[in-house]
Structure 1
Amino acid sequence: MTTGDNRLTYSPLPLRHQVINRWLLSGIFTRNVRFEPMTMEGDVNDWLIKGFSIHENPCRKEFVDQRRASVPELPFAAPPAPGDSVSLWGSEARWDLYFPWGNPRVEESGFYYVPTHMLRYGYTVIVSPTAHQAVFNLKTCGGVALWVNGRLVCDFTPFTRNIEQQTQVEVELQAGENTFVVCHEDLAERDTLYHFTLEYTGTESLEIRIPLTDSETAEAVLRMEEALGRAYFPKDNATDEEIRIVFEQPFSEKISFDVNYVSFFDGKYSMRRELEPGQQYLVLGHTDDFGIDYKYFELVTRIGQAAIRKPFGIELYNSRFQPRNSREMTVAERKRVALECVAELGIPNIHTAIAKLKTGGSPEQSREMILKGLVGIRERRDCADFYLIALFRFWRDYRDSGLFDEDFWAQIKDTILGFRYWIDEPGDDVMWFFSENHALLFHSCQLLAGQLFPDDVFVNSGETGVQRREKAERQLLEWFDRFFAEGLAEWNSNAYIPIDFLGLIQLHDLAELPALREKAKQAMDLLYFYMAAEAHEGYLTSTFGRSYEKELLGNHAAGTTSLIWVGYGVGNVNSTAFNVSVYLSDYEPPREYAGLTELKPEEELEFRLEQGKDGYAKLIHYRTRSFVLSSISDFRPGMKGYQEHVLHLALSPEAQVWVNHPGEIYPHGSGRPCFWAGNGCLPKVGQYKGLGVLLFDIDPAHDADYTHAYFPTHAFTRVEQRGSWFFGEREGAYAAVYAANGLELTQTGVNRGRELKSKGRRNIWLVRASDRQEYDTFEQFIDSVLNMPVDVSTDDLRVRLTDGTYGETSLSWQEPLVVNGETVSVKDCGVKGRLMRKERVASYK
């Protein structure tokens, strides 16, 4: 990259072609849109097998038809500059520089709770050394109109929700500067991939030039971009300490940052911070100032009119609510502590409002939280069912308390009567019905609403409360039949087990049909059995059917962590607000499962089970007192992935290892899959006890031509690299990671010291876990692994090795995992699984 004429000059990002990903962007204009209310249909779990795109909201067709009927116009005449304003739909935005941070796409993906028309403009200048006919690949999620030198050359409108489409565009490039303008738009429906990519397929050496205003210095912008690109948090978790971002080199002058921070279910907050001259640490605050949560901090600094933005993610935890004698406390005592933790630290919402009331908080403060929550339910924002479900307990406990006026209660009643409770009712919203957790909550809300207002008419369906209740009882009984037959379609998910509890606990406490109360208890008992059998030290570090970065990197803040702690006193308490109803219930998990949460040093526990439709998820969990290794066997190898997390090793909540093919090649993105959560292309996985094997065959069209492992060196006591092996030790537990194509530890940026990268689309990874029960010392473990005969071939994707403890092991793309001549398989285990707890076989002791 160079500078000149007060313009930023870049070479196109080399990928398969030259990617034009440096632009001035207008910011996103949005407007909520309404459509003809329609009904939908479909199986609630099929999308996990066939892909989420099998369910398309009717509103999308209406939007696309309207957009294709129009021809876009060039949105402005004069070239824009940073800080200039642009207007649309009665609102105004400013032009800003786009910094991709390694992303080949021009991306602003995000989450939108209601149907939202999004539109943004982009402007860039491409310098060509010669005049020639240039061919570009245009890829997009959304529709893109492209003007070059003032002429519309393309209006590409595929509008396939969250599925990238591609076309080729021929452009007459003149020698010298060429102006490119795009209009990029889409209909946002909850999780929304919103990006475009422009790839030059020719051989000329192009340049990208971004104009700046006179008040900016191109050199200063480039220096700041470089500094932010290399900045990092020292760890992925901050506990009872200052929160610091580290800059590799100090600045010679004071730098001011606007800091925006946000969590998954909360709004955006802002603060201002200063970095003094010569100081390498930007202090964002103390963990005492925040809840227990995974947060994204966006640093924004300005040079003239140019704003430079960079996101950073970290889990924040403070232990002031954590008792020292958790195991000795009763379940009721732990529930009280957890309730107080949510009341003080929870994200402001309806659940937190109830926690505040139950712990003596201000009724007026809770009233405001609930009224704000009602807005989202009335607008039928996605996930509205997560909050509506809490109102029925609130009505029961506080309707006659005298704390709130009649207008307040009338607003709650109107909200309940006006809601859309299922896909067979008309609607123009984008609420997601197609998953087991949402189905459970919608049916539970309908049941409890019908019970509460039996004689009232629900305006969206025209049915009475009695009719709603009868319908919901049928739906719920069918839901339970499927649940007990199939288990969790989104197996083990840290994100969604708490949401399942959110519905089940209301049925257990409030359903008038005895069969539903009993089935809800059985379901919660089964979920606690899973968690007790699979969690390590009280943290559900496991393979997941749905995963997010916030849970993978944030074990202390996960909803399951607090559920396990309340039930059995292991792990830690946190401020997850969705668990409030569990804390208020008299339900207690089975005491006999408490013994599963702790193993003796000489014990091992192996748990095999099948989950999902037709048992498609075949799971293996292997635990010792020191570590847990968990995986899903042979799950759709080579196919496009989503949020499936296929193998996980944990020595502690922080010292954990997993391998994936990144769904997007830059950290902290919004994709599903993203950088750490899920897989762009799924591997073939085999596991035998503490040994995991992964075979990758990556689609040639995918951006990421590598695979990587999360390996946080800061969380291990000792770390060693020996050739293609990486080793870590923590408190007598050992981890080893191998990649056939070699390993390189990332040394800069947000993944500094925590990413092991291995190049190549075809690769073989090994993960081996052990501890002092097997090897007296870390050195013995390293020597044994390095002396282990390993024969790998990335050409035909096969591996054969002889492990010092487990013996001869082989896996190939065509054949299953075989250990000492026996095929390792998960079959005939069912949703309750097969649990084996026994003495470990002596090895190198």
Structure 2
Amino acid sequence: MTFTNGFIHHYYIAGPVFTDFIADKTDKNQIRYEQYLRSIVADRDQPAPAGKIIIGELSELGLPWEYYYPSSGFVNVSQFSYTPQKVELLAATCLVAQEDIEVQAIVWTYTALDVWLDGEKICSVHEPVYKPIKKQPITLNLTKGQNTLLIRMQNLAVRDTRNIFGIQLLEHLEKIESAHPDAGNAQPFLDLENWLAGIELKGNKLYLPQHAPCRVYLSYDDDTAGSAGIEISSENIVDINERATLAVIHGEIQHRTMSRKIELLAHKKPTYRKLPSLEATQRDMFDELAELGTDSPFRPLRFGLFYVLARWNSGNRSEHDEAHIIRAIEQIERREDCSDFHLAGLLRLMRFHSLPEDISARARQAILNYRYWMTEKGSDGMCFWSENHALMFYICAYMAGEMYPEKHFPRSDRTGLEVNRVARHRIRQWLADVEEYGFEEFLSADYMCVTLGALLNVVDFAEEESSRASGLIDLMLKSFACHAFRGSIVAPQARIYRSVILPFTQSAQALIHLLNNDTPVGNSEWIVFLMKSRYQLPYHYASLMEEPMKMEYPTGNAYVKLTKHRHYMLTSVQSPRYDERPSFWENNSFVESVDIESNDYIKSFNERFHGTSRFEPGVYGYQQHMWYAALDNDTVVFTNHPGEMSDDGGMRPGYWYGNGVMPAIKQQDNRLGVIYEIGEEHPIAFTHLFFPSAKFHAVAHVGNWLFGQKDGGYVAIWCSDALLPHHDRLIDCEYRAYGRRMAYLCECASREEFATLDPFIAYCQQLQPAFDSYQLRLYTADGYSLTAKKCDNITQYI
């Protein structure tokens, strides 16, 4: 078995195992508190994992050893944890050496980690980190034949948790092979893994390798648990269901299922449902939400209480409504991360409707005992400091204090009246900041729906601040409308998830559809807050959605550019800012005398953790989406430096969303340049281009150029390195450029300038783009130039 870029790919794992983990010590600084938890979570000086390493046999953790699949070179069992937990995992692999040899290697990890080579400990990383990843050089003294590596991983699970490690060999790869501790039992799994990797998708047909190693089945839309699917063991070509959006090919070895997921991106198309009026559209969207959670038997839903709110606002009830409310109260009682969302819904529900007496009493106790800020008594894993969470906690405290003015709130030792007064001051600070600087989570088509919900509670229940909150909702919706193309939001975004690859699937599509029902259908649980609200939707913004425009503006510390033509859109956030008089707000989180209760401090605190809007080349990124070119609402291209090695990892930054390392970016009208410099301290030495071939009407790959045409629009992408196709969960959508220094150039045009694709190709080629990798300078024959200056502090504020 070979290595990819030196990384070991084949592991057995046992775990992960999760146990609750809360320390008695508390801290008014949540990040510092979590750093403390990380410093004590790992048990040190433990021995190597005991017992035989055999697939199916129990490990010392009480869970069986499993063949780890799929492997990208990292063991990645990341997950989201709503409350703090300790996570433990064991792993094992083997290296077979042709001779006695000393090998230099690197252990990359976010976790606490111990590594043993044939029983001798060779590496200990005592404390996990949230970011950046740790790089630990090690020496492997391999003997001729088989050498066993055992790994013990420990981590703090809190919110998005990076349970990730990898081992990279730096030399002598030609003299080493990767193997498994239990090679005989592993072979059937390896055979199935290789067979699954050989599957190809062409159009609506799957092409399967010969001689399936076991009985193999095809299911659709992740329905592997519901049925075995259609057996395809003896097939070579299989027609795909044209309505399916995900094909899951799975086989079973020794009662263990291995599956490959192939996303059918060509089948994912926007849905249009034009109703007679915008009022009818709104009712239809509310009714759709009100139907959720009514099935029997009761099935917990993350936002079950929101759907109850939709029903009760419509004058309807369901048999499971009380169960949904009680579940939300339980999440509030446990102070799960994002429980402030449920609390905002509960408080809104209680303002408009009466609860049964027993549920009302329990809700009152949960509200009084809640921790409304990280400086209050208690410890948990809630995120208080992001832009959406901060306002959500402020308005929840305001409403709770107003609801129970004479009651004692034990975590702050304040009366409800005092809680309300403190919260009103914080709300005003938040509003004033966004009014002055713009949104930090700018254009985030997921997170700004949450901010919408918080602002609507301000509009409806904070009388003195109501009109200011309405004005900021207007600003949010106007920005979305300006960045709408063919009815969907195409925008650089401060925080984003994988929906970035198909803009019409983003949560804020619900807001676009509310304003203009000619656009693709969308829905979000957060629009429930519009029911019974005094806020009036600004329907006149719909005219901005298809209006060609050029604009540029600051928001937070970012500077956004937009060129919207009727046949294409190009938009980006500059890195660093190139405007003539860049004005930044100052990060005060390091100032000793700063008021840690102030919104200015919280905003700075958030920038340190998320790096939301101060963009500089070479800085470690998070969830920021830097640029887009679009020819349709489902046909977009962009580049990023992935934060992880594969599409199914689920980390932030992820494979397609965010950036492990931020690029330099400069847009001039319909042209954009991008430069990446990825330091040796980051394990992923490639960038990639999202280019969904099936979405275009015509494509061409000419040298270092890729061209696409759809309707009357054209897009061209040039890369300083060879663009190599790569197929993971998505097929014919990805091109990788390997290396640590590279540049891209994007050019957009329309048939009004070029009658067909061919003259556009000829025009782009005569631009003769070039990249000086030493000077980090990208330039063209007609005078475009971009030079990247790497930021001195790559972790920025950590």
TM-score (norm 2): 0.86
User: Matches of residues 703-722 of structure 1 in structure 2 within 5 Å?
Assistant: 703-722=683-702
Q: What per-residue deviation string (whole Å, max 9, x for no partner) do you get for residues 575-599 of structure 1?
A: 3212221255342232442321222
| Secondary structure at the counterpart of residue 180 of structure 2 | strand
Residues of 2 paired with 1:583 and 1:141: CA distance? 44
Q: 1:405 aligns with which of 352, 356, 381?
A: 356
Structure 2 equivalent of residue 440 of structure 1: 391
Residues of 1 paired with 2:133 and 2:139: CA distance? 20
User: Matches of residues 473-552 of structure 1 in structure 2 within 5 Å?
Assistant: 473-511=424-462, 514-549=463-498, 551-552=499-500
| Secondary structure at the counterpart of residue 480 of structure 1 | helix
Residues of 1 paired with 2:140 and 2:642: CA distance? 32
Write the letter of the residue equivalent to 1:516: E
| Secondary structure at the counterpart of residue 25 of structure 1 | strand
Q: What per-residue deviation string (whole Å, max 9, x for no partner) do you get for residues 237-290 of structure 1?
A: xxxxxxx8945447667424799959xxxxx97654233331655979966xxx
Write the letter of the residue equivalent to 1:228: L
With over 3 angstroms needed to count, the CA separation of the structure-2 counterparts of 1:732 and 1:482, relative to structure 1, is same
Q: CA RMSD in A?
A: 3.1
Structure 2 equivalent of residue 209 of structure 1: 179
* Conserved 8 A contact 2:250-2:260: yes
Structure 2 equivalent of residue 687 of structure 1: 667
* Conserved 8 A contact 2:262-2:729: yes
Residues of 2 paired with 1:259 and 1:303: CA distance? 21
With over 3 angstroms needed to count, the CA separation of the structure-2 counterparts of 1:247 and 1:419, relative to structure 1, is farther
Residues of 2 paired with 1:233 and 1:282: CA distance? 10
Instruction: Say yes or no: does 1:381 pair with 2:336.
Output: yes
Query: Where does the alignment leave 5 or more consecutive residues of structure 2 unmatched?
Result: 294-300, 577-615, 791-798
Q: 1:760 aligns with which of 739, 743, 746?
A: 739
Structure 1 equivalent of residue 193 of structure 2: 225
Q: Shift in Å at residue 84 of structure 1?
A: 1.5
Residues of 2 paired with 1:221 and 1:334: CA distance? 51
* Conserved 8 A contact 2:103-2:172: no
| Secondary structure at the counterpart of residue 448 of structure 1 | helix
Q: What per-residue deviation string (whole Å, max 9, x for no partner) do you get for residues 172-211 of structure 1?
A: 5433223322110111111111122223445372223224
Q: Shift in Å at residue 435 of structure 1?
A: 1.2
Structure 2 equivalent of residue 308 of structure 1: 258
* Conserved 8 A contact 1:81-1:213: no
Q: What per-residue deviation string (whole Å, max 9, x for no partner) do you get for residues 645-674 of structure 1?
A: 111111212110111222223223222222
With over 3 angstroms needed to count, the CA separation of the structure-2 counterparts of 1:341 and 1:731, relative to structure 1, is farther
* Conserved 8 A contact 1:312-1:668: no
Write the letter of the residue equivalent to 2:59: V
Write the letter of the residue equivalent to 2:385: F
Residues of 2 paired with 1:707 and 1:274: CA distance? 37
Q: Shift in Å at residue 318 of structure 1?
A: 8.7
Residues of 1 paired with 2:250 and 2:90: CA distance? 21
Instruction: Say yes or no: does 1:573 pair with 2:521.
Output: yes
Structure 2 equivalent of residue 828 of structure 1: none
| Secondary structure at the counterpart of residue 31 of structure 1 | strand
Instruction: Say yes or no: does 1:634 pair with 2:584.
Output: no
Residues of 2 paired with 1:85 and 1:677: CA distance? 37
Structure 2 equivalent of residue 558 of structure 1: 506
Q: 1:588 aligns with which of 536, 545, 565?
A: 536
Q: What per-residue deviation string (whole Å, max 9, x for no partner) do you get for residues 549-599 of structure 1?
A: 1x2023233121110110233422323212221255342232442321222
Q: 1:155 aligns with which of 120, 124, 135?
A: 124
Q: What per-residue deviation string (whole Å, max 9, x for no partner) do you get for residues 427-481 of structure 1?
A: 3211111211110101111111112222222232232211111111011001111
Residues of 1 paired with 2:670 and 2:38: CA distance? 52
Residues of 2 paired with 1:296 and 1:33: CA distance? 37
Q: What per-residue deviation string (whole Å, max 9, x for no partner) do you get for residues 114-143 of structure 1?
A: 111000111223323334555443222111
Q: What per-residue deviation string (whole Å, max 9, x for no partner) do you get for residues 42-95 of structure 1?
A: xxxxxxxxxxxxx62415424523636x42123323x2211112354xxx4221
Structure 2 equivalent of residue 736 of structure 1: 716
* Conserved 8 A contact 2:270-2:634: no
Q: Shift in Å at residue 792 of structure 1?
A: 4.2
Residues of 1 paired with 2:55 and 2:563: CA distance? 55
Structure 2 equivalent of residue 33 of structure 1: 21
Structure 2 equivalent of residue 818 of structure 1: none
* Conserved 8 A contact 1:357-1:366: no
TM-score (norm 1): 0.81
With over 3 angstroms needed to count, the CA separation of the structure-2 counterparts of 1:791 and 1:167, relative to structure 1, is closer
Write the letter of the residue equivalent to 1:192: T
With over 3 angstroms needed to count, the CA separation of the structure-2 counterparts of 1:317 and 1:342, relative to structure 1, is farther
Q: 1:58 aligns with which of 33, 38, 49?
A: 33
With over 3 angstroms needed to count, the CA separation of the structure-2 counterparts of 1:575 and 1:86, relative to structure 1, is farther
* Conserved 8 A contact 1:162-1:192: no
* Conserved 8 A contact 1:546-1:644: yes
Write the letter of the residue equivalent to 2:474: D
* Conserved 8 A contact 1:317-1:557: no
Q: Shift in Å at residue 358 of structure 1?
A: 4.1
Q: 1:323 aligns with which of 270, 273, 282?
A: 273
| Secondary structure at the counterpart of residue 679 of structure 1 | coil
Structure 2 equivalent of residue 333 of structure 1: 280
The answer to which of 407-416 and 129-138 deviates more is 129-138
The answer to which of 581-590 and 626-635 deviates more is 581-590
Query: Where does the alignment leave 5 or more consecutive residues of structure 1 unmatched?
Result: 1-9, 42-54, 236-243, 263-267, 288-294, 816-845
| Secondary structure at the counterpart of residue 161 of structure 1 | coil
* Conserved 8 A contact 2:58-2:65: yes
The answer to which of 169-178 and 538-547 deviates more is 169-178
Q: Shift in Å at residue 157 of structure 1?
A: 0.6
Instruction: Say yes or no: does 1:372 pair with 2:331.
Output: no
* Conserved 8 A contact 1:557-1:575: no
Write the letter of the residue equivalent to 1:367: E
Write the letter of the residue equivalent to 1:799: L
* Conserved 8 A contact 2:456-2:529: yes
Structure 2 equivalent of residue 784 of structure 1: 763
Write the letter of the residue equivalent to 2:14: S
Write the letter of the residue equivalent to 1:338: M
Greater fraction of residues in strand = 1
The answer to which of 129-138 and 335-344 deviates more is 129-138
| Secondary structure at the counterpart of residue 93 of structure 1 | coil
* Conserved 8 A contact 1:36-1:59: no
Percent sequence identity is 23
Write the letter of the residue equivalent to 1:423: M
* Conserved 8 A contact 1:725-1:738: yes
Q: 1:127 aligns with which of 77, 92, 96?
A: 96
Structure 2 equivalent of residue 832 of structure 1: none
Aligned length: 739
Write the letter of the residue equivalent to 1:471: V
Q: Shift in Å at residue 311 of structure 1?
A: 5.0
Residues of 2 paired with 1:539 and 1:405: CA distance? 42
Q: Shift in Å at residue 297 of structure 1?
A: 8.3
Instruction: Say yes or no: does 1:255 pair with 2:229.
Output: no
* Conserved 8 A contact 2:649-2:655: yes
With over 3 angstroms needed to count, the CA separation of the structure-2 counterparts of 1:585 and 1:334, relative to structure 1, is farther
Residues of 1 paired with 2:691 and 2:444: CA distance? 21
Structure 2 equivalent of residue 199 of structure 1: 168
Residues of 2 paired with 1:313 and 1:469: CA distance? 49
* Conserved 8 A contact 2:444-2:494: yes
With over 3 angstroms needed to count, the CA separation of the structure-2 counterparts of 1:61 and 1:728, relative to structure 1, is same
With over 3 angstroms needed to count, the CA separation of the structure-2 counterparts of 1:124 and 1:280, relative to structure 1, is same
| Secondary structure at the counterpart of residue 395 of structure 1 | helix
Structure 1 equivalent of residue 637 of structure 2: 657
Residues of 2 paired with 1:665 and 1:447: CA distance? 44
* Conserved 8 A contact 1:139-1:166: yes
* Conserved 8 A contact 1:83-1:305: no
